[in-house]
Chain A
Amino acid sequence: DQQVKQNSPSLSVQEGRISILNCDYTNSMFDYFLWYKKYPAEGPTFLISISSIKDKNEDGRFTVFLNKSAKHLSLHIVPSQPGDSAVYFCAASAGEKAAGNKLTFGGGTRVLVKP
């Protein structure tokens, strides 16, 4: 039972263009969402997060959008740079509704930014 899904396993984009990564979730208890970037042989690096009281959060080139009614979030990277080539994971947490800081991860989307 995959509670967090990233339906696109890979994405290829030209340098300078927008990368849009999508994530869907099924558990209505989730109220805090995070995006992580991962290079091979390294741990995930935190990118940006959003709580369910917001529908948008921006940090530099990264913007996350949350549509609670559709149980969908997306990450926009503008402009995309070759160094953005990595695997991106969407993660969700039930926050205060659950004990602890358990994160449930999606399967990841591999992004390739072509120069």
Chain B
Amino acid sequence: KAGVTQTPRYLIKTRGQQVTLSCSPISGHRSVSWYQQTPGQGLQFLFEYFSETQRNKGNFPGRFSGRQFSNSRSEMNVSTLELGDSALYLCASSLGTAYLEQYFGPGTRLTVT
């Protein structure tokens, strides 16, 4: 079974621009979560989608948004990029019910200059 895939793997953007990251979950998984990893803040939860609905949201500004499609693929968008948005963005998928492990993709390394 193919794992979680994320595209692109690396991205360089300029302050003020916007960016869209994509995540394809493991086949059959209906839950997709997004996390941000930075050296200062560690791994932080952004949001989770299940069956095209946002089920949970972390403490991030409204510039961070996401969506999930009917095939469970998900995208996250960051508008008006700031230098502090430079991070590794990780996507994780699971079957969706609680008490099940989440499987992570390799991440997208975003650098904002």
Interface set of A (CB-CB < 8 Å, partner B)? 32, 34, 36, 41-46, 49, 51, 89, 91, 93, 95-96, 98-108
Besides A43-B4, A105-B42, 16 other CB < 8 A contacts?
A41-B109, A42-B106, A43-B106, A45-B104, A46-B102, A46-B104, A95-B98, A100-B56, A101-B31, A101-B56, A102-B48, A105-B35, A105-B44, A106-B42, A107-B42, A108-B42
Are B102 and A96 in touch, CB under 8 angstroms?
no
B100 to chain A, nearest CB (A): 8
- Please name 29 pairs of A and B residues whose Cβ atoms are closer than 8 Å in the assembled complex, sorted by A: A32-B98, A41-B106, A41-B107, A41-B109, A43-B4, A43-B92, A43-B104, A43-B106, A44-B43, A44-B90, A46-B101, A46-B103, A51-B99, A89-B43, A95-B98, A100-B33, A100-B55, A100-B56, A101-B56, A102-B48, A102-B56, A103-B35, A103-B45, A103-B92, A105-B42, A105-B44, A106-B42, A107-B42, A108-B42
User: Hey, which chain A residues are within 8 Å of B56, CB to CB?
Assistant: 98-102
* B16-50 to A contact mask, C-beta < 8 Å, 1/0: 00000000000000010101000000111100101
User: Hey, which chain B residues are within 8 Å of A104, CB to CB?
Assistant: 45
Contact size range, B: 20 to 34
B74 to chain A, nearest CB (A): 13
User: Hey, which chain B residues are within 8 Å of A36, CB to CB?
Assistant: 104
B66 within 8 A of A: no
Residue of B nearest to A105 (CB): B43
B68 within 8 A of A: no
Are B55 and A99 in touch, CB under 8 angstroms?
yes
Residue of A nearest to B50 (CB): A100
Most buried by B among A34, A42, A101: A101
User: Hey, which chain A residues are within 8 Å of B98, CB to CB?
Assistant: 32, 93, 95-96, 101
Are B33 and A102 in touch, CB under 8 angstroms?
yes
User: Hey, which chain B residues are within 8 Å of A42, CB to CB?
Assistant: 106-107
User: Hey, which chain B residues are within 8 Å of A105, CB to CB?
Assistant: 35, 42-44
Report which of A41, A51, A101 forms a contact with B102, defined as CB distance below 8 A: A101
Cβ < 8 Å to A, chain B residues 66-113: 90, 92, 94, 96, 98-107, 109
